[in-house]
Amino acid sequence: MSSEKNKPLTPLVLRFHHLLCLPLFEGKGYSDGFSENMAGIKRRAESTEENITFICDFDSVCKGCPNKSEAGCLLNEDGKEKTEDKDRYIAGLLGVEEGFSADYKTALKTAEEKIHSDGFFKICGECRWYRAGLCRFDKWRDKVEKIIKT
Ligand code: SF4
């Protein structure tokens, strides 16, 4: 009988806009389960060179989120820009297509080169975590720099 420890890891899949959220994540989330899952993904992405597939749909982070529903992300419902549109916008800035694959640091390096303060604000400006003061462009850049250098 194989133990949990020996179970192969499910490949990491990230939606593009989570390249902005993950570096800034400091433990606060939509539920305890969400935060635990996101912290594990952040640790894993930062400590390995495995390839991640980037998409514009539910991903490994969404898996643990109470906003994930059959009808889509519940955050779409209050008239905000659809989360999928945010992903497509970031993919466009990066100059890549859905299904792009790269290790986390390489993807972050590209994001750092291509995403400027106006693009960051367009995606994050309406988000509750931005409004709560947890996320800022300069802070994102600092975090990305640190991750890339480790
Ligand atoms: S389900 Fe929506 S709110 Fe939850 S992590 Fe995914 S995109 Fe974010």
91-140 pLDDT, tens digit each: 999 999 999 999 999 999 999 999 999 999 999 998 999 999 999 999 99
CA distances from 112 to 14, 99, 119 (A): 17, 19, 11
The DSSP secondary structure of the chain, one letter per residue, reads ---GGGSPPPPPEEETTHHHHHHH--S--SSHHHHHHHHHHHHHHHH---EEEEESS--TTGGG-TTEETTEEGGGGGSSPPHHHHHHHHHHHHT--TT-EEEHHHHHHHHHHH--HHHHHHHHTTSHHHHTT---HHHHHHHHHHHHH-
pLDDT at 1 over 50: no
pTM of the model: 0.93
* pLDDT score at 68: 95
Judge if the beta carbon of residue 45 lies within 6 A of ligand 1: no
Judge if the beta carbon of residue 108 lies within 6 A of ligand 1: no
Q: What is the mean pLDDT of the chain?
A: 93
Residue ranges of domains in the chain: 12-68+84-149
**Best CA proximity match to 13, nearest among 48, 56, 47, 46:** 56
pLDDT: which is higher, 23 or 9: 23
- Residue 114 Cα, ligand 1 centroid: separation in angstroms? 23
- Residue 84 Cα, ligand 1 centroid: separation in angstroms? 10
Half-sphere exposure for 77 (CA within 13 Å, toward CB): 9
